[in-house]
Amino acid sequence: MTIKAYVYDAYGTLFDVHSVSEKAESEFKGYGKTISEQWRKKQVEYFLLHQLTGPYKPFSEVTRNALLYTLRNLSLQSNEDTLHSLMQSYLELEVYEEVRATLETLQNQNKTQIIFSNGNYEMLSPLVKKRELNHLLRVLSVDDVKQYKPAPAAYQYALETLGVKRHEVLFMSSNFWDITGASSFGFKTAWINRADLEIDELGIRPDYIYKDLSGLLE
């Protein structure tokens, strides 16, 4: 079966969301790892709740609100400069070490490659530019349709934009909730299982499981 489009989730798949822990540690000594973990957990919780209950809020606002909650939950005092510094770290996330070489190899095979993310362009575009991936990937955001993944309408938007059939898309994410949504929609899926987790008991199995993105080249 021919795959015509490689579609990548951004956060946790191409970019390490927990690389924010370094900046968090510099702002709140001894709390960097905890802030990173709680911030990400609350970020995901918030956009899922907004999708279920409405109204839609852009990912940058969701991310800031999740940060505010995290700092308050940890009884850490912050000001606007601190918040700006931590939010800025999301525009400078580290890219996983195998990503660039994998994307370049696939580009040389004339594969269509896009990022499809819950992040909005305000967050994604500077990040992709910062990590010098903009010549390898087109950026597509759910912000265009105001429907967060894993809602079917989000994947439908990506499909229409790509102009291919569902089974001609290989969708990749490190987030199993995203794999669940994409698989249910009809995409071929590859779970990038960076944390070596067990498969969730949701009645869904990805078509492929790789420890990192280089598995695409096997």
Active site residues: 9
- CA pair distance 137, 18, nearest whole angstrom: 22
- CA pair distance 116, 114, nearest whole angstrom: 6
Q: Name the nearest CA neighbour of 171 among 149, 195, 147.
A: 149
E-strand spans in 9-86? 15-16
Chain length of the chain: 218
Pairing type for strands 5-8 and 169-173 reads parallel
Q: Name the nearest CA neighbour of 9 among 217, 170, 198, 197.
A: 170
Q: Where are the alpha helices (DSSP H) in 115-190?
A: 121-130, 152-162, 176-185
In degrees and rounded to multiples of 5, residue 142 shows phi and psi of -65, -15
